[in-house]
Structure 1
């Protein structure tokens, strides 16, 4: 998306969000000042290595942080229309988990989890699981809920819905279970759909079908989607806007073309370089050297500095601000400071990006 966005279409606005967890080893500062906006009908992908803070961020939105987690500061402003069509705005941080669960979750913001077997109740039929949210939130009759559940099963591509509605999760394939989870998420017509690694447990063919289903749902219903993933191949297929997270911070964000064709942060360079490529001459996949920092310890300077081959002296001393590099593109790296020495992305990545551009042009 390159068009100018209307502030009135902003459905979610995260500002200076900081989250910590109390553990037996000390306080873990898991989220450190996250800022992010989601607009109506837009798909944002939040990417990064395991432990970067992707899932914790969306769990804060859903009010499902674990009991040892605490939002230290910041706001999560959610804008929506109530049942009467009036514009409403709430700060989810100021709501209790119970309030979010009854007023927001499922009804206004829904989530598709990574493994459908852990999010579906094995003791309940899939029909009952689809229907319970509608009956609870919309106060409709059992008969109406059942009719809508059958329509939803058909909508998400499940054949013989009359048969499937009375079956249990273990009687369905992995792909069908994930379709059921999507049906449950859509049952109350949410404004936002959060997908946390929704295709990780599925084979490649089913992955593509699930991603296509979510895109179709979004286009038809005009909902906003947040993807949590480490798979940049998925990001390239679905996202309008990308936020790259590292050590609890967003270190680079921009529209899909800015991140894939003009990445500026060395961590993003590393992520893009580590994508598998069938045409590569190398017999080994690229891996970012080193390990993420221990968030139990105070971070001085840029958290990525110890793993960054292009790190400057200031990276070890002072945390970089967010630099506006044009368009929707924002980067948290001292390399973007006008005073910094000129550093170009690795040559192998430059060649790969040029190849991606040519392929995209050829595919229209």
Structure 2
């Protein structure tokens, strides 16, 4: 770990507003994310918290009614001859991004494989397309590479599957094909947007394992977008917890799981299904996410926060530093704030998780 890691993605003060018929929606509010080469960062939060929008901005594929009102997205990569380059993606036009970034250096695995695959094209053609477009790979070579990729992502009878259409495959196989397409141009960064949502639990585990294996073998960086903290525990090095377009807590995986500081993170961890809990009902965070059409002063989470202080209605909390790698935006960390403990049920659950982790480590 002593070697200094190379930074691949650096997002600073990203601000995005959507123009809608009802008015402007301030969807992303000052987001900062760092990603190093070979690492996995997870972005966690409820639907609508801004996870996917942030990453679509990094790929230059925002909707036409989105306006970036501030910030930078610096992406660092190496050219074929080894010379390093860092670009601010927000300053580039769509054509340049398509040619140099999308699929070639940053690839995305979307939620639903059926919407990201072309139903009129064979699987083989869809995997070969990127190689031919970006690298002018000869057809025969692209075909052989595509067959290898299908084998790499665990699809049996790859030669035969190349001629199949998406509807002829199961959901799990389609998701594997989407991953093969994403890997076709050997990208530096793989963004996985809820890659297991539409799949059953056993297939989910296999897809997660597949992404982990590919990452290890190829040394690529991965960003996971998910609302499922169970998935995060298996894959991430660092976690960013997002709420209402802001990052409210970030830290290393163990810090977020075993020593969370933000009441929203407490809620997310409490909402994870747990077989050992005495309570028969599954915990849910009260209330619902705010409507970003009418922005209110103060902390966006305050109306749902049982630990909210008076200041939460007046001022947005800054990021308080807990350790060198752990930060949380909650007034509870202010030295003047009354002491608030995490709910006792969550405390017990974390103690159990720690114990299980120790057992696993000792196996």
Q: Does 1:99 align with 2:96?
A: yes
The SS at the match of 1:298 is: coil
The SS at the match of 2:104 is: coil
Q: Does 1:78 align with 2:43?
A: no
The answer for the alignment partner of 1:176 in structure 2 is 173
The answer for the alignment partner of 1:357 in structure 2 is 354
- Deviant stretches of 4+, over 6 Å: none
Q: CA RMSD in A?
A: 1.0
**Offset of 1:5 from its aligned partner?**
7.7
User: Which sections of structure 2, spanning at least 5 residues, go unmatched?
Assistant: none
1:1-364 alignment, distance < 5 Å = 6=4, 9-364=6-361
1 CA distance for matches of 2:290 and 2:151?
A: 46
1 CA distance for matches of 2:81 and 2:337?
A: 54
2 CA distance for matches of 1:230 and 1:68?
A: 25
- Deviation string 1:22-57 (CA, Å, 9 cap, x unpaired) is 001100000000001001111111000110000100
The SS at the match of 1:363 is: helix
TM-score, scaled relative to structure 1: 0.98
1 CA distance for matches of 2:67 and 2:300?
A: 22
TM-score, scaled relative to structure 2: 0.98
- Deviation string 1:69-108 (CA, Å, 9 cap, x unpaired) is 1111000000000111101000001112222122100000
The aligned length equals: 361
Distance verdict in 2 for CA 1:206–1:344, change over 3 Å = same
**Offset of 1:4 from its aligned partner?**
6.8
Is the deviation greater in 132-141 or in 279-288?
279-288
- Deviation string 1:299-321 (CA, Å, 9 cap, x unpaired) is 20111111111011111111111
The SS at the match of 2:341 is: coil
User: Which sections of structure 1, spanning at least 5 residues, go unmatched?
Assistant: none
1 CA distance for matches of 2:68 and 2:177?
A: 32
